[in-house]
Amino acid sequence: MKPWLLLCLFVAASAAAHTARTILVFGDSISAGYGIRVEIGWVALLQAKLDRQGYGYRVINASVSGETTAGGLDRLPRALALHRPRIVILELGGNDGLRALPIAEMRANLGRMARLARAARAAVLLLGMRLPPNYGPEYTAQFHRAFVDLARRQRLAFVPFLLRGIALQPALMQADGLHPNERGQPLLLANVWPALRPLLHK
């Protein structure tokens, strides 16, 4: 192949990659695929579904196991600048709750991340979480209400509970009782998809 043709193909491929619409999944171990093979996690299943249905998005998984909202807030500006996403799926807060960190701080961090994403011209989908009952009724109620209130105040696309229909089913959870297993991954995607789909444009 002639050098000039190779150069043209390279420039075309680079331009296509540069203009590809991107979904940034910004979460913790549930989205990072803790305890399972990454290629069978819900984020990988999302990419496959988008490809099958011709949406033309690439999915970037910037999730980190153990991440808190404070850590996410530190990382997000660079991720936004690097990937320039059209959509940010924000899946953080679970580790704040498990560590019994202040709910007001968690809510403020999530709110700042949502504003940063919108300032970067990305739509935001917030994935809500719930805590096990052993954290006490007051704390667990306040924890979940933080997601609901933030979604309402900022008018965010919202999934009230990412693990709906999964968390209380031992057959769908890993032995730690916190992370969905391989069988639970398609159900995670099923919970996300109805809220994500209106944000997509073919």
Grouped pLDDT means (10 residues each) for the chain, 202 residues: 42 44 98 96 98 97 98 98 98 97 98 98 98 92 98 98 97 96 98 98 66
Q: Look up 29 and say whether it is catalytic.
A: yes
179 is catalytic: yes
25: helix, strand or coil: strand
The owner of tokens 């099958």 is 52
Task: For residue 108, give Cα distances in angstroms to 16, 79, 112, 132, 184.
Answer: 37, 19, 6, 22, 30
Name the pTM for this structure: 0.89
Residue 17's pLDDT is 43
What is the identity of the amino acid at 165?
Answer: G
Looking at the DSSP bridge assignments, the partners of residue 23 are: 59, 87
Taking the C-alpha atoms of residue 124 and residue 75, their distance in angstroms, rounded to an integer, is: 16
Distance of CA 78 to the CA centre of its chain: 16
Q: What would be the CATH architecture of the domain defined by 19-199?
A: 3-Layer(aba) Sandwich (3.40)
- The question of whether 65 is a catalytic residue gets the answer no
Could you state, in order of their start, the residue ranges of all structural domains in the chain?
19-199
What is the C-alpha to C-alpha distance for residues 68 and 98, in angstroms, rounded to an integer? 10
Instruction: Let me know: does 132 contact 176? Beta carbons within 8 Å.
Output: no
Catalytic residue among 28, 29, 63, 83: 29
What is the per-residue pLDDT for 61? Answer: 98
State residue 201's pLDDT score: 82
Instruction: Considering the candidates 28, 31, 96, 179, report the single residue annotated as catalytic.
Output: 179
